[in-house]
Structure 1
Amino acid sequence: MSRLRSVANGPAVNGPAVNRRTVLAVAGAMSVSAGAGYALRPTESEAAPVQEAPVASSRRAPGAPLAPYTRGTTLATVATPRGGPGYRRLGDGPGWARVVRRDLATPRNGREDRRTALAAFVQLTDLHLTDVQHPMRLEYLRSHDPRAWRPQEALTVQGAVALVERVNALRGAPATGAPLHFAITTGDNTDNNAKTELEWYLTVMSGGRVTPSSGDVRHYEGVQDSGVAQYWQPDSPVRDADKRRGFPHLDGYLAAATREVLSPGLNLPWYSTVGNHDAMPLGCFGHGDPYLAEFAVGGRKLMSLPAAEAKRLQDALKAAADPLGHAFRDLLKTHARAMRAITPDDRRAPFTPAEYVRAHLDPAHTGMGPVGHGYSTANAEAGTQYYSFRVADDVIGVSLDTTDPGGHYQGSIGTAQLRWLERTLRENADSHAVVFSHHTSTTMDNTRPDPARPTEHRHDGAAVLAALGRHRNVLAWVNGHVHRNAITPHTTPDGNAFWEISTASHVDFPQLARVIEIADNRDGTLSLFTTLIESAAPHRTDFTDLSQTGLAALYRELSLNRAGDRTGLAGDRTDRNTELLLKRG
């Protein structure tokens, strides 16, 4: 059985009397070094010291010996499709076994009895909480590409709450039994850089009531009551494209989907990382066009577009040919007369990086803390969205901002952030480091200049890999963005090695999050355990159940049946539940 190393400077222990604590920053985004925090000031390129924050308690460790907790994880069971072609239902299926990855080190016998747990946390990624009635949406691309619209999007809030409920129900880590220290999101928490979505996300995570509707909250005003047959019209007799594939007719669905939802909030501290959909309208357009900003809060919404025009727009988005959205603005103007009247709503306005940070600092969203969820007032003043924090005595976390404000959905980082990253790793060389970002190493190929820092060089994923590879204390780079489970080993010529852990989204099937544990095997190796979890919603759906829980179950099943969706997002068995070995002397 695993033991748990105390993070209060004590030895490894194996008894119930120890109060397990994790040094989590309760006030402010912090770089950690020699007991002092650091945060960038608005006009300084070097870090400036700030006061050390008080600690926050993690969950208490269970009584000795620590026992793995697999209930509610994909080790136990996984939602599995039933039936053949057409609309498929979900049911309980066999779990996914844990696979030992030997790419970077050879496992040694007896490590299960020797190992000491260092840290355990939950990664949530790509929640994509979506204001489906927002005017700045691209549902009409579905006339060309069936995948361009998700029929489950009206239920993102209910699905996210069910994921919070699953995390809260975990009584320990699945491999070591250690208490969970924290949760962290790795970006695309929102879908369209809208203040409505940001408010919903922060409330879901910290606890409270959410009404997932905008405009006229008494009446849904989106594509699903438009009568346009390319969208699922759940309440309507229209024989739409999805009903022809077996989607159900559900009286009262839209009223239920926009009804108030209650979130308990996470019952452990949580941190936030920014993604391109959080940073930019539609996840790809840089800020600055006043027409688009006004359109976002206005009273007109385009519901359909000819397939040829939809293809041209989609091709332009993929090629990053319109990073500031000027051609998109012109398209909207051209089709102004074809738009549907909806209720204007100032709450749909886009938010800036500083507003994103300040929203996290709002006391209404502190929940289990820390205040700011990693971000500080220094971040807001400097316009930065990266920070580091101490996880345990010998583990730090580093959260990066890989979004490119110049536009496009792929990422990069600026020189100042890259230097800060290396300095943080160097100053904490005696601590293991886990790096978090939204983008993966292979999706950081957008080096367009940041409009706020036009002379600063941007660096791609290869540069970040090289930087991480220069520091032996780096154990893992944890990210999302690609909506697919993938675990990749990385090595450097001088012998350093670490794992890149990419996790599937919680918006596309199979809708997953991941528990990650770090353990010292006390034989010259470390083990990183990865275990996937689903939401707490039941696998089986009941079309007559439009309760909050029933809708969360339907959210998962609708995502399975999305037209033309990619298969294989769960990844291979070696990308799911794993033990990842690393050499560490």
Structure 2
Amino acid sequence: MKEELKIGIILTCFFIAVIGGSLVLLQTGSPIGEYPINSTVYTTVERTIIPVPVPPGATVLLPHQVSDYSANGYGQWRFGEGLGYEKRLDLMPAEYSAGDVVPAARLLHFFVMTDIHITDKESPGQVIYYGYKWGMISGYSPVMLYSTQVLDAAVQTVNVLQEEKPFDFGIFLGDAINSGQYNELRWYIDVLDGKTIKPDSGEMDDPVSGPLNDYQDRFKAAGLNASIPWYQAIGNHDHFWMGLFPPDNYIKSTLTNNSILNMGNVLTSRLRIQSRGFYMGAVDGRTPYGDITGAGNVSDFPDGPPTVPADPDRRFLSRTEWISEFFRTSSGPAGHGFSQSDITTGFACYSFEPASDVPVKIIVLDDTMKDENMPDGSSNGLGSLDKERYAWLVHELDTGQAEGKLMIIAAHTPIGVELPETGLGSLMAWDKYAAVSDTDLVAKLHTYTNLLLWIAGHRHQNTITAFKSPDAAHPELGFWEVETASLREFPQQFRTFEIVRNSDNTVSIFATNVDPSVSDGSPAAMSRSYAIAAHQIFNLTTDPLPSGSYNAELVKQLSPEMQVKLQNYGTPAGRQR
């Protein structure tokens, strides 16, 4: 072989891509390049992300005018000061004084991510028209382009934090995917497993020629550090179409075929998913900014429904099929909390004890609605428990209490935030047909002295609620609820939790928001800009101001029995992040 030909072959097999100032080597036939994050990782205790207001007089944009965002001042941010921990004594007796109380021993350290909404943006079964024309950010915003890359950046951020202070486990609180599709769930699991991701469906697209320079390019996910076990809860988007309804045959066939969905407003029409009148549209994956195609009134398309390339991997997953995919993973533990029997029954509740040397029990609760439709035909996106799951929860709590274990309930939907009498018509309220009402559930939880926390997602916001004891003489009956924001919408954060025993034998829970670390110019950085721009265009409220972040030290009174027991547990407490 001539020397020139040898050189030519070598040159065609190797490419150099510059990503955020880092060089990534791409070799044909070998794993494709990665999107590295910044090597230094900060939590919001050290610095925050502050959106920069859109300049006065700037052109008012529509959400799909993505190419005009930057020029008009949308989606800009700056770094702000760190956010300290607000010391919350809501559950403690009125006469309690923290005084010289200090952390004495660390009991548990874990992270939570939720509402990631991995999205097949090119699917003909999305509801892009809802955001494009009707002002629903959950229907469309350009963050849909980068959902896999944002998860990858968040996982890399966890891996760096793991080196500084190891996690006992991580848990994902549902809405892993957006539309209930098989390819969405495989992207999600494969990112966590560190596989090569092709975030493209239908025909292979490359909007910007070359590797690692657009939202459709294949990339090698970093994968979660193998020493961290991760667990999964189910959310309404994981087993309902768009998180709202069991799909009928029309929706199921639309997902895998090429004609774009014809649908009306399922939230207002009495026909719900039987309503028609608008083609919902899809993202054109051939375009650099993810232009919307095939959206509009049916009358605007006299030649028939608009089409996109079909893909059989868009098939809708039943609840049991969704559970079974968590056994097709290279990370641990097997099933990520689910058992083999759950594949048959679809029962998505389980419990585990993350540390053999600490008496803490995690109760993972499926508090989404059952797969059947609501009796009145309305949305299935509410929180709910049937008799079987409520009985299971009570049994788990009774057992944990009897065994002298502190308990944390991990569920997708929060409780007590919008009671039915005040939340009518809201997708955040508790189901009025549930076997146990929201009010009665809270009352039951108030009977367990060892319940520390209810952790949840669903509402895409960072909120902490104190459920005070109904008996002032027994403050240990109070518990905390901590909600964590979504990785999809601004502020695109996850949380870490550190539980420590204090010197006065109370317990403190340090809840910390974390922004995924991003490299300049990376897809995750672009997603942050788009998330802020969408927040501005849809005129959403940032709460708490100015960053949407909230860090707190949550103090909990222990029963006399647990005060004595915990004196023998934990490792010396170190610096709080």
Q: TM-score range by the shorter chain?
A: 0.7 to 0.9
> Which aligned pairs between 1:52-91 and structure 2 lie closer than 5 A?
72-82=42-52, 84-85=54-55, 86-91=73-78
Equivalent AA in structure 2 for residue 558 of structure 1 = Y
For the 8 Å contact 2:194–2:222, the answer to whether it is kept is yes
Q: 1:270 to 1:107 in 2, by over 3 A?
A: farther
Q: 2:316 aligns with which of 345, 350, 363?
A: 350
Find the counterpart in structure 2 of residue 568 from structure 1: 542
The partner residue of 2:188 within 159, 176, 201 is 201
The question of 1:527 aligning with 2:508 is answered: yes
**3-state SS of paired residue (1:201):** helix
Distance of 1:519 and 1:255 partners within structure 2: 44
User: Closer, same or farther in 2 for the Cα pair 1:186/1:123, shift >3 Å?
Assistant: same
Report how far residue 296 of structure 1 moved: 0.8
Q: What per-residue deviation string (whole Å, max 9, x for no partner) do you get for residues 307-349 of structure 1?
A: xx96x44534xxxx556x2225998896785532211111001
C-alpha change, 1:95 and 1:537, in structure 2 (3 Å) is: same
CA–CA distance in structure 2, aligned partners of residues 259 and 573 of structure 1: 31
Partner of 1:419: 391
Partner of 2:86: 99
Contact 1:510/1:570 (8 A) holds in 2? no
How far does the alpha carbon of each residue in 1:473-501 deviate from its partner, in whole angstroms, 9 at most, with x for none? 11000001111111000024244100000
Work out whether residues 125 and 480 of structure 1, in 8 Å CA contact, stay in contact via their aligned partners in 2.
yes
- For residue 565 of structure 1, report the CA deviation from its aligned partner: 4.2
Kept in 2: contact 1:483–1:504 (CA 8 A): yes
Q: Could you report, residue by residue, the CA deviation over 1:218-269 in whole angstroms, capped at 9, with x for unpaired residues?
A: 367xxxxxxxxxxxxxx8xxxxxxxxxxxxxxx9899711111221211111
Query: Structure 1 residues 419, 431: closer, same or farther in 2, change over 3 A?
Result: same
Aligned residues of 1:101 and 1:574 also touching (Cα < 8 A): no
Instruction: Measure the CA separation in 2 of the matches of 1:383 and 1:504.
Output: 27
Structure 1 residues 203 and 574 mapped into 2: Cα distance closer, same or farther (>3 Å)?
Answer: closer
Distance in structure 1 (CA, Å) of the matches to 2:237 and 2:452: 27
Paired with 2:74 and 2:232, the residues of 1 have a C-alpha distance of 36
* Distance change >3 Å, CA 104–CA 492, structure 1 → 2: closer
3-state secondary structure, aligned to 1:301: coil
Q: 2:431 matched to which residue of 1?
A: 446
| Candidates 254, 265, 285, aligned match of 2:223 | 265
Does 1:299 pair with 2:258? Answer: yes
User: Shift of residue 110 of structure 1?
Assistant: 3.4
**Structure 2 residue aligned with 1:579:** 553
CA distance in 1, matches of 2:84, 2:469: 30
Deviation for aligned residue 1:571 = 6.4
1:435 to 406, 409, 426: 409
Distance in 1 separating the partners of 2:546 and 2:442: 23
In structure 1, what residue type is equivalent to 2:146? L
Looking at structure 2, the residues matched to 440 and 76 of structure 1 have their Cα atoms a distance apart, in angstroms, of: 28
Q: Which amino acid aligns with 2:119?
A: T
Of 390-399 and 460-469, more deviation after overlay is shown by 460-469
> Using a 3 Å threshold, how does the CA distance of structure 1 residues 461 and 574 change in structure 2: closer, same or farther?
farther
CA displacement at 1:440 relative to structure 2: 1.2
Q: Which amino acid aligns with 2:430?
A: D
- Conservation of the 8 A alpha-carbon contact between 2:51 and 2:547: no
Matched with 2:526 is 554
Preserved CA contact (<8 Å) 2:129 2:279:
no
Quote the offset at 1:139 in angstroms. Answer: 0.8
Q: Does the 8 A contact of 1:111 with 1:521 survive in 2?
A: yes
1:73 deviates by 0.5
> Deviations for 1:246-304, whole angstroms, at most 9, x for unmatched residues?
xxxxx9899711111221211111001111111111110114x21211111111125xx
TM-score of the aligned structures, taking structure 1 as reference length: 0.72
Alignment of 1:482-501 (within 5 A): 482-494=459-471, 495=474, 496-501=477-482
CA distance in 2, matches of 1:330, 1:553: 33
Deviation at 1:145, TM superposition (A): 1.6
Which ranges of structure 2 fall in alignment gaps of 5 or more residues?
Answer: 1-39, 56-72, 281-296, 374-378, 419-427, 561-577
Paired residues, number: 450
Asked if the contact 1:80–1:93 (Cα under 8 Å) also holds between the matched residues in 2, the reply is yes
SS in 2 for 1:283: coil
Pick aligned residue for 1:109 from 87, 95, 99? 99
CA 1:127/1:253 → structure 2, altered by over 3 Å: closer, same or farther? farther
- Partners of 2:46 and 2:395 in 1: how far apart? 42
Task: Give the TM-score normalised by the residue count of structure 2.
Answer: 0.73
Instruction: Write the distance in 1 (CA, Å) between the matches of 2:160 and 2:203.
Output: 35
Q: Secondary structure at the match of 1:162?
A: helix
Q: 1:174-573 alignment to 2 at 5 Å?
A: 179-218=166-205, 256-267=214-225, 268-287=228-247, 289-301=248-260, 312-316=265-269, 321=270, 325-327=273-275, 337-362=303-328, 365-367=329-331, 369-392=332-355, 393-404=358-369, 405=371, 406=373, 407-429=379-401, 430-441=404-415, 442=418, 443-448=428-433, 458-494=435-471, 495=474, 496-538=477-519, 541=520, 545=521, 550-562=522-534, 563-570=537-544
Contact 1:366 1:372 in 2 (8 A): no
Residue 389 of structure 2 aligns to a residue whose secondary structure is: helix
**Residue-by-residue CA offset, 1:71-110 (whole Å, 9 max, x unaligned):** 5201111122235424142232211111111111245233
Instruction: Report the RMSD for the aligned CA atoms in angstroms.
Output: 2.7
Contact 1:107 1:581 in 2 (8 A): no
Q: Is the 8 A contact 1:96 1:573 kept in 2?
A: no
Structure 2 residue matching 1:537: 3-state secondary structure: coil
Secondary structure class of the residue paired with 2:320: helix
Unpaired runs of 5+ in structure 1?
A: 1-69, 221-234, 236-250, 449-456
Q: Which letter does structure 1 place at the counterpart of 2:152?
A: V
* 2:113 partner letter: L
Q: Contact 1:509–1:569 (CA<8 Å) still a contact in 2?
A: no
